[in-house]
Amino acid sequence: MAKQDVLITEVALRDGSHAIRHQYTVDQVLQIAKALDEANVPYIEVTHGDGLAGSSLQYGLSKTDEMALIEAAVSVCQNAKIAVLLLPGIGTVEELKQAANIGAKMARIATHVTEADVSRQHISIAKELGMETVGFLMMAHMAPARKLVEQAKLMESYGADTVYVVDSAGALLPHQVKERIKALKENIQVNIGFHGHNNLSLAMANTLAAIEEGATRIDGSVRCLGAGAGNTQTEVLVSVLDRLGIETGIDIYKMMDLAEDIVAPILPKPQEITKDSLVLGYAGVYSSFLLHAQKAAKQFEVDSRDILIELGKRKVVGGQEDMIVDVAAEIAKKQSAPV
């Protein structure tokens, strides 16, 4: 692996929101953001788990208005830039402008891997607002490399400074990550990023594979705090990259202390690969579906794995959370039908 600089975006205050049912408080965000800034983490993402305006009955209601959380993070960061995620169709230009006004410096515009065309307006306006812009191609396992290149080129043409391969389901294998990153590296001129999930215990392997092929923008989540089985664990990633001679600029001891002393007590339970999160990766299902599927399984007295497998067969993607209850109800009906 060639020596190169890697810039890490910490996503525990966004992706990690899924794991704690979007219950972050201002005090928690203040503590975590301040510690991340002191550890010299360059970017910290803060929003509802499903991005700006994600707080809803469908996606999960936030305990605290996300603008208050963004403002809190901005207030304690001397060096780190606050990033926000926006999914067109959930968040709007108005929320993006509001976030920029209170100090967010990076906009990460996320679409399904085949729907980059819906990001044009948001990427363009983020550029006009003076924000660093990132195109986020989610569920990247659902499209071949050539399709990924086509979609990445669209985001690049709209003004994205970086385009990410996003393994939302934690379903990609290392050779598939390499193929996709290599294809982007050969076909686009902007920075390339990678966002992994650990549902198949491959987040670290996939992240290293991405870096080997030229990805320089990498997402991590302290204490693995993220949807499903979590993301590439930041404090571990920083340590591994240091062993490889790859510079991140992040203080390893401070990241370890933050993980142990501040983030660990917030977790409802340790982030681990459970049977349900394993099925997410196995079936190729959006990681944030985990808690929704478990809730529906309890409601209809069915196996949550059956729900997730069926969702995978139907190729359900983010934004179709309402299908989870429908599938659970169908499974319950079949199981109760007379033979």
Q: Which segments within the chain are labelled E, that is strand?
A: 7-10, 43-45, 81-86, 106-112, 132-138, 162-166, 191-195, 217-220
Q: Are 221 and 215 in contact (CB under 8 A)?
A: no
Q: Write out the catalytic residue numbers.
A: 18
What is the distance between the alpha carbons of residues 44 and 62, in angstroms, rounded to a whole number? 19
Could you tell me which residues come within 8 angstroms of residue 19 by beta carbon, excluding any fewer than 6 positions away? 225, 226, 227, 230, 267, 268, 271
Alpha-carbon distance values, 279 to 5, 88, 131, 212 (Å): 34, 28, 37, 28
Give the annotated binding-site residues.
Answer: 14-15, 168, 195, 197, 286
106-112 and 162-166 as β-strands: parallel, antiparallel, unpaired? unpaired
Binding site residue list for substrate:
14-15, 168, 195, 286
Place of tokens 């549902």: 199
SS3 197: strand
Element (H, E) at 145: helix 145-158
Burial class (CB in 10 A: 0-12, 13-18, 19+), 189: exposed
For the beta carbon of residue 243, count every other beta carbon within 10 angstroms.
8
Torsion sign over Cα 85, 89, 90, 91: positive
**Cross-strand bridge partners of residue 107:** 84, 133
Instruction: Point out the annotated binding site for Mn(2+).
Output: 15, 195, 197
Helix spans in 225-316 (H): 234-243, 252-258, 275-283, 290-300, 304-313
Under DSSP, the state recorded for 265 is G
